[in-house]
Amino acid sequence: MTSHTPGAAVGSARDGQPVPWPQLTKRLRPGDWLAIDCVVAVLLAVVAVVGSTRPAYHVPVSVAYTLALVSTLPVAVRRPWPLPVLGVVLAGTVAAMAIGTGKEPSVAVALVLYLVGLRYPRRTSAAVLACVLAATAAGTVAGGAALGYSEAGNVAARVAGEAVFLAASWAIGVAVREQRAYAAGVREQAERRVQAQLAEARRTVAEERLRIAREMHDVVAQEALTNVVKHAQTTESRVVVTYADDAVSLEITDAGHGTPAGSVTASAGHGIAGMAERVSLFGGEFHAGPLPGRGFRVAARLPLDRVPGEASA
């Protein structure tokens, strides 16, 4: 037994799982919607033809059948051409109403009018609605005279009922249009926020790399190279900077006659301690010591994705 969430519309099931109607409708292709409209148009045509009565004014029954088909079958192509289809369906409906065979309210006109409210700007679709209401009111009045219910009260009630039904279909289309526009705006705002967050993240990374670069500059300058000048008793040194995706490595070596092997701790001084402290602040690795034979080596490795003060893994 499958349980459903209260208030959720459920369509067909696959593998025992319910499929919500919104997801089901999103899977329908334009050809599927066209097939659905064709089925609806045929059903409306059958109902209109079967329900057609003998026309007034001695009009042949064949004319009534023709108008029934004209006022319903074009619904099949209402999605590609809503306005032309509305014009044809409305003309057939009003003519059928005028000779007493049309049915009101007109479902076919309402279906096409819904698409007009959905597809076109409100001002345009409102003007179309006004024309539709005027035309159907004229058809209702003419039909009342043909069928013998031309009393003012009866005609007014029929006109009002038709107007409410058609205006409701138009209003639903407008509401759906505005809801979709709102949803599109929300998605656009969300995408803009994501882009802004990505830009901020890139800016933060760039600033962090710049800060690391400054620290590396301090380590190279006026620290490691200063020690070379002061203590290595040489005028030459070698600096190697290696840049990788996850870290920057720096190595300074010289071939001077400075601190002998085994005496680094005693003569390290504040320079090496300061360099080690800076590298540690960025979660990096630091090494300093004499080379075999002669010379001195200072090496540092700073990760590019580490926040200052964060301990190394």
Final residue of a structural domain among 173, 192, 211: 192
Residue 18 lies in a domain: yes
pLDDT band at 227 (very low <50, low <70, confident <90, very high): low
Span 254-274, mean pLDDT?
58
Whether residues 107 and 242 share a domain: the answer is no
Q: What is the pLDDT of residue 129?
A: 96
Q: Which distant-in-sequence residues (6+ apart) come within 8 Å of 93 by Cβ? A: 71, 102, 106, 108, 109, 136, 139
Span 92-108, mean pLDDT?
85
- In this predicted model, what pLDDT tens digit does every residue of 48-88 receive, in sequence order? 888 777 787 788 888 989 999 999 999 999 999 999 999 99
Q: Which distant-in-sequence residues (6+ apart) come within 8 Å of 21 by Cβ? A: 9, 10, 11
d(CA 170, CA 150): 28
Whether residues 145 and 256 share a domain: the answer is no
- In this predicted model, what pLDDT tens digit does every residue of 113-144 receive, in sequence order? 999 999 999 999 999 999 999 999 998 888 87
pLDDT band at 265 (very low <50, low <70, confident <90, very high): very low
Query: Which residue type occupies 126?
Result: A
Whether residues 52 and 187 share a domain: the answer is yes
Whether residues 108 and 249 share a domain: the answer is no
Contact indicator for 282, 302 with CB cutoff of 8 Å: yes
Whether residues 159 and 290 share a domain: the answer is no
Whether residues 183 and 43 share a domain: the answer is yes
d(CA 283, CA 276): 11
Whether residues 153 and 78 share a domain: the answer is yes
Q: What is the pLDDT of residue 276?
A: 82
Residue 311 clears pLDDT 80, i.e. is over it:
no
- Parent domain of 82: 10-192
Query: Nearest CA to 250 among 211, 305, 299, 306?
Result: 299
Top-confidence residue, 168 or 226? 168
Whether residues 88 and 133 share a domain: the answer is yes
Span 268-295, mean pLDDT?
78
Sign of CA dihedral 194, 310, 286, 276: positive
Whether residues 240 and 283 share a domain: the answer is yes
Residue 205 lies in a domain: no
Whether residues 72 and 116 share a domain: the answer is yes
- In this predicted model, what pLDDT tens digit does every residue of 237-261 receive, in sequence order? 788 888 888 888 888 888 776 555 4
Q: Which two tokens stand for residue 14?
A: 């696959």
Residue 197 lies in a domain: no
Residue 60 lies in a domain: yes
Residue 1 clears pLDDT 50, i.e. is over it:
no
Q: What is the pLDDT of residue 261?
A: 46
pLDDT band at 225 (very low <50, low <70, confident <90, very high): low
Top-confidence residue, 219 or 311? 219
Residue 45 clears pLDDT 70, i.e. is over it:
yes
Element (H, E) at 249: strand 247-254
Query: Nearest CA to 166 among 123, 143, 135?
Result: 135
Final residue of a structural domain among 141, 176, 192: 192
CATH code of the domain in which 249 resides: 3.30.565.10
pLDDT band at 306 (very low <50, low <70, confident <90, very high): low
Whether residues 57 and 176 share a domain: the answer is yes
Top-confidence residue, 225 or 11? 225
Look-up of token digits 């705002």: 189
Span 258-272, mean pLDDT?
51
Q: How many domains does the chain have?
A: 2
Q: What is the pLDDT of residue 264?
A: 44
| Cis preceding linkage at 105, omega within 30 | yes
- In this predicted model, what pLDDT tens digit does every residue of 136-188 receive, in sequence order? 999 888 887 766 665 666 788 888 999 999 999 999 999 999 999 999 999 99
Contact indicator for 32, 38 with CB cutoff of 8 Å: no
Final residue of a structural domain among 175, 192, 209: 192
Span 268-283, mean pLDDT?
74
Contact indicator for 275, 298 with CB cutoff of 8 Å: yes
User: Quick one: what percent of the chain has pLDDT higher than 90?
Assistant: 35
Look-up of token digits 């790399």: 209
Residue 312 lies in a domain: no
SS3 category, 44? helix
Residue 201 lies in a domain: no
Residue 236 lies in a domain: yes
Residue 211 clears pLDDT 80, i.e. is over it:
no
d(CA 198, CA 189): 14
Residue 272 lies in a domain: yes
d(CA 112, CA 118): 10
Whether residues 41 and 162 share a domain: the answer is yes
Residue 230 clears pLDDT 50, i.e. is over it:
yes
